Structure 1
Amino acid sequence: MKTTNFTISLLGFALLLGSSFTAAQTVAGTLLNIQHEWASCQYNLVEKDLKISCLEKVIIANENALKITPASSKLKIWLAINNSSLAGAKGGLGALSLVKKSKQLLEEVIAVNPAVLEGSAYTSLGSLYYQVPGWPIGFGNDKKAEVMLKKALAINPNGIDPNYFYADFLAQNGRKKEAIAHFKKALLASLRPARPLADKGRLQEIANKLKELEN
């Protein structure tokens, strides 16, 4: 009887493990699709209405994916990124509700899994803090921005995104020499084979920023 129970337990464990792998693979595949669609919206579309429409569709896909796997920190981060990007595309005070949603999602991730996606929650929240207006309009705060961005760099010191956003923050605060150093460090980051369009777009942004700072 003990042997039979042990065999059943092993079978149950195998089924559970298989289910977990399937769920993980599903999230990974869905996440990559969302990342690709975001990059296409962000870097292939210039016309405002087209970009807004594109990002809105990605957000719907992202939200639907989260309904299936609501505990996924990776999908939460990307929903925050998509909402923030849509806010940037729309502009104006109407975008504040979107960035507030992003902030809440990122704080949820940081509370339970701050190192996921190489600290991207810290990078994204830091970028919100320095780009969103401060009180009484929004929650922008340069001190909090620098704390978040430095935490992202502590996790992923050579990454293209944490160095880019920290450099951008420094540039906006008049710290030109430091900004140039981090932009150049971002240029040296290893490329992400699964995300060629995102890397191409980010590298072009870095080149543009450096040109502004060095002229």
Structure 2
Amino acid sequence: MSKSLVRALILGGALLLSLPSLALTAAGAQSLKQLQTRWAEINYQLPEAQREAAFAKLAGEAEVALKAEPQAPELLIWRGIILSTWAGAKGGLGALDLVKQARGQFEQAIKLDAKALDGSAYTSLGSLYYQVPGWPVGFGDDERAEQLLKQALSLNPDGIDPNYFYGDFLLGEKRYAEAEKALEKALAALPRPGREVADAGRRQEAQALLDKARAKLN
């Protein structure tokens, strides 16, 4: 599995933080903030060679937080994001188990509250479906990916992450004009308080993809 797997989660990982749901305690909200902040530091500021070990450690911290509040969809989403990006850093077929665990976290979060973190579970799950290899190696499915990403956009139409990942998907499908629109929308997204590092990193990624889409159109 390529190290490009889940180039950011993307699952971040750098997904839009909405107000905590009623299921999330004050301690859980603090844990969530710490996980998001550290994820962005690892993903965008740490040297590539150090990321796998750092994500592995952060996944353990996410597991501890989730054990304290197992019904908190926000923590399920972020454990899935961390597992996904750890898989991307790890690479190879050995990362597939991590990706499958991440899928389970996102699916559980959707069952609990599909709207948690502005539908971020749909964004993250959709990104897995188009980046993971298909059968017989993995569970990748482009049709399913697009369905999930569109669900994410229905809940958060102006968010940086759903538009970024949809743009990335469309670029891979050679739908360059559609990709350009989605990526322009990602770059126009409002800043997320407390997510400055994640926003800066995601904007750089979106701009790079936008340049590729425009090059194909020209």
TM normalised by structure 2 equals 0.87
- What CA distance in whole angstroms lies between the structure 2 residues aligned with 1:96 and 1:85? 12
Deviation of 1:22 (Å): 11
Aligned-residue identity in percent: 48
In the alignment, is residue 102 of structure 1 matched against residue 93 of structure 2? no
- What CA distance in whole angstroms lies between the structure 2 residues aligned with 1:22 and 1:74? 9
Deviation of 1:79 (Å): 0.4
Higher helix share: 1
> 1:155-189: CA deviations, max 9, x gaps?
00000000000000000011000001000001111
- Flag the 1:84–1:212 CA change in 2: closer, same or farther, 3 A: same
- Flag the 1:83–1:210 CA change in 2: closer, same or farther, 3 A: same
Partner of 2:33: 32
Q: Residue 77 of structure 1 aligns to which amino acid in structure 2?
A: I
Greater RCO between the two (CA within 8 Å, min separation 6)?
Answer: 2
Q: Residue 35 of structure 2 aligns to which amino acid in structure 1?
A: I
CA RMSD of aligned residues (A): 1.5
- The aligned runs of 1:61-210 (5 Å cut-off) are 61-210=61-210
- What CA distance in whole angstroms lies between the structure 2 residues aligned with 1:200 and 1:117? 19
- What CA distance in whole angstroms lies between the structure 1 residues aligned with 2:198 and 2:160? 10
TM normalised by structure 1 equals 0.88
Q: Provide the secondary structure at the position in 1 that maps to 2:25.
A: helix
- Flag the 1:214–1:98 CA change in 2: closer, same or farther, 3 A: same
Partner of 2:12: none
Deviation of 1:190 (Å): 0.8
Deviation of 1:32 (Å): 0.6
Count residues in correspondence: 195
Deviates more, 1:166-175 or 1:205-214: 205-214
Q: Residue 44 of structure 1 aligns to which amino acid in structure 2?
A: Q
Deviation of 1:21 (Å): 8.0
Deviation of 1:23 (Å): 6.0
- What CA distance in whole angstroms lies between the structure 2 residues aligned with 1:156 and 1:171? 20
- What CA distance in whole angstroms lies between the structure 2 residues aligned with 1:150 and 1:90? 28
Deviation of 1:110 (Å): 1.1
- What CA distance in whole angstroms lies between the structure 2 residues aligned with 1:23 and 1:185? 30
- What CA distance in whole angstroms lies between the structure 2 residues aligned with 1:210 and 1:107? 30
Unaligned runs of 5+ in 2: 1-20
- Flag the 1:91–1:24 CA change in 2: closer, same or farther, 3 A: same
Q: Which runs of 4+ in 1 moved over 4 A?
A: 20-23
- What CA distance in whole angstroms lies between the structure 2 residues aligned with 1:21 and 1:179? 36
Larger Rg: 1
* Conservation of the 8 A alpha-carbon contact between 2:52 and 2:90: yes
